Structure 1
Amino acid sequence: MGKLAGKKLILLGERDGVPAPAMEACFKNSGAEVIFAATECFV
């Protein structure tokens, strides 16, 4: 298990940067739980 095992994550992605689903896929096998993920447009 990694350092994130058992942690809860809130992911805020950016439309022109890294979207939330991509970050969620990266953390999939980390042992952490994604409780909220959203992709926003910060203009």
Structure 2
Amino acid sequence: MDRFIWSNRGIEAGETKLFSQVGVRIYDGDQKTSYDDGNINL
């Protein structure tokens, strides 16, 4: 899955947080990834 970057870092210089959600599970098509019940920031 090359569409996402996994990171434990915060917002970097020049970035703006648009949205944050907790309790997130990510799917790659119909396949569930190991990212389960986490936080996502866009």
Higher relative contact order (CA 8 A, sep 6+): 1
Q: TM-score range by the shorter chain?
A: under 0.3
**Superposition TM-score, scaled by structure 1 size:** 0.23
**Superposition TM-score, scaled by structure 2 size:** 0.23
